Amino acid sequence: MINLPVGISALAVSFPSIIRTNDYWQQKFPELVAQTQPTRTRLPRNITFTSDHQDLDIWSQEVAPYLSDPFRGNVERRVLASEESSFTLEGRAARDVLSAAKFSPEQVELMMVASLFPEQIGPGHAVCLARQLELNCPAWNLESTCSSALVALQNACALVRTGEYRNVLVVVSQIGSNSVDEQDTLSWSMGDGAGAFLVSSLKSNQGILASKIVHTAATCGAYLHKLVTDEQDKPRLRTRTGENASTLAETAVEFVRNCCEGAMAKAGVTLEQINFFAFNTPTPWYANVCRRALGIAPERTINLYPRYANIGPVLPLANLYHAAIADKIHENDLVLVYTNGATATAAATVMRWGEVPLGPEPAPPISITEGEEEITISSEEVLTTEIIFFTREELLTTALEEWQQKLENYLLKWLAISLQQPLTNLHSQQSLAPLLDSLMAFELKRRIETDLQIQVPIEKLFADSNISQLAELLINQLTLENLINSETDTAENKQAKTREKFSL
């Protein structure tokens, strides 16, 4: 297909009126906050995990500073007021982008809508939004979780390039605050918001140069969704972390490299030529994971997580919007946008930024300084403590009677680092449940499975068991796997001898 100059020609974002800080949970659910806040002694923030799994170590090193924070890096999030809805946010974003582009509703030739966790359960509401905006064009729904905006952008550009439509209005939203139980710590990370952009022809050499989109089937089961009814007996989706949540960490570096390097290769540009990177920021450490995976300097990207928390498919639009407002991107700059949607798609798009009019600026944060949204290199600020975990192979070379003590020491060492407590504060008879929230449990599960190459059911980490009992479970699994492997080897040897007899 001819790479005609087509891309984002106008952009707007829209957020609800309530800015919810951590005080909300401290006042409403003090017991919940207390559970994630054991007494700690501060240790160096930047922990370097040295192993054969460099991709996973990047994630672990970036998560480590947040494990001592009871709110895990969450600061503010925008949430709906009683009179607000996904319709009001989407409608406002759409009207703002049309106004910025000096477009009338009659000029819009197609609208795509991606609404994540809207109030309405069932088919998407693209047509209802078209009626609200008084559009006279086709309107359809599209969904790919956090990558919805980039997937819609790719589709819209293709349709404009073929001449099917001259312009496409794309609207995306997430209403995360309604999708989680407030007594689940996952709710601390969920925000609400909407964004809209127009796709149309641009000046020569501007617009989308290339995209690389892949499925994220490896993360299936990372989140679970259940239909419930609220206090008014209205149906509502409830989201919680699933058994497979650790794959979000295990695949993060691989996906960002695969998509970003693939998109740049297709666009014929190099990493050094990109002026600005807009990364997915569904967690406070994700931008740094992406930055380190590609090896780029902190000043070439931003992290809006402290201001908005996880706003799903709105993240790339908010990143682009605020980068433009902050004068971090200019006309004709090369920009790379990356998103990762669990159980959906990971996507990277290389674009040459045009002269993009912007909608009104959202309300500023109430408790965040500019420095908190700057990405820094942790190792330049604090001392580094290097931790070397032993591997399965090293454990198997020791006597079986030594395994229990070695595994207990391994678990205690990880907990001491993650909780930022002295090792002397922990002992093997300590119950795990009070020490671990969902983030730490999945980090521990991932660490064990990476180092020892055995599966650990997540419920075992939340059960009423202690460190010594977890070590026993690991020994049993290792012993069972060794037994199965030895029986397999014996069977293969017998088959080989039989084949040798027949050949003779």
> If DSSP states are collapsed to H, E and C, what string results for 278-299?
ECCCCCCCHHHHHHHHHCCCHH
| Torsion angles phi and psi, residue 219, rounded to 5 | -100, 10
Residue 491 in this model has a pLDDT that exceeds 60:
no
> Closest by alpha carbon to 471, among 386, 418, 394, 395?
395
Residue 398 in this model has a pLDDT that exceeds 80:
yes
> If DSSP states are collapsed to H, E and C, what string results for 391-402?
CHHHHHCCCHHH
Task: Specify the domain boundaries for CATH 3.40.47.10 within the chain.
Answer: 6-380
Report helix angle 286-294 to 54-63, nearest 10: 140
Tokens 């998407």 locate to 124
- 334-340 and 345-352 beta bridge pairing: antiparallel
CATH assignment, 391-503:
1.10.1200
Supply the Cα-derived Rg of the chain in whole angstroms. 25
Distance CA 316, CA 322 (A): 10
Answer for the pair 171, 130: CB distance below 8 angstroms, yes or no.
no
Average pLDDT over the chain, rounded to an integer:
87
Instruction: Tell whether domain 6-380 is in CATH 3.40.47.10.
Output: yes
Residue 379 in this model has a pLDDT that exceeds 90:
no
Distance CA 292, CA 283 (A): 15
Answer for the pair 264, 347: CB distance below 8 angstroms, yes or no.
no
pLDDT tens for each residue of 179-225: 999 999 899 999 999 999 999 999 999 999 999 999 999 999 999 98
Q: Which of 191-195, 246-250, 418-422, 433-437 has the highest mean pLDDT?
A: 191-195
Helix (H) or strand (E) holding 61: helix 54-63
Residue type, 258: N
pLDDT of the residue at 387:
52
Residue 378 in this model has a pLDDT that exceeds 80:
no
Task: Specify the domain boundaries for CATH 1.10.1200 within the chain.
Answer: 391-503
Find the mean pLDDT for residues 25-37. 85
- The tokens for 303 are 């992290």
- Confidence grade of residue 340 (pLDDT, cut at 50, 70, 90): very high
pLDDT of the residue at 425:
82
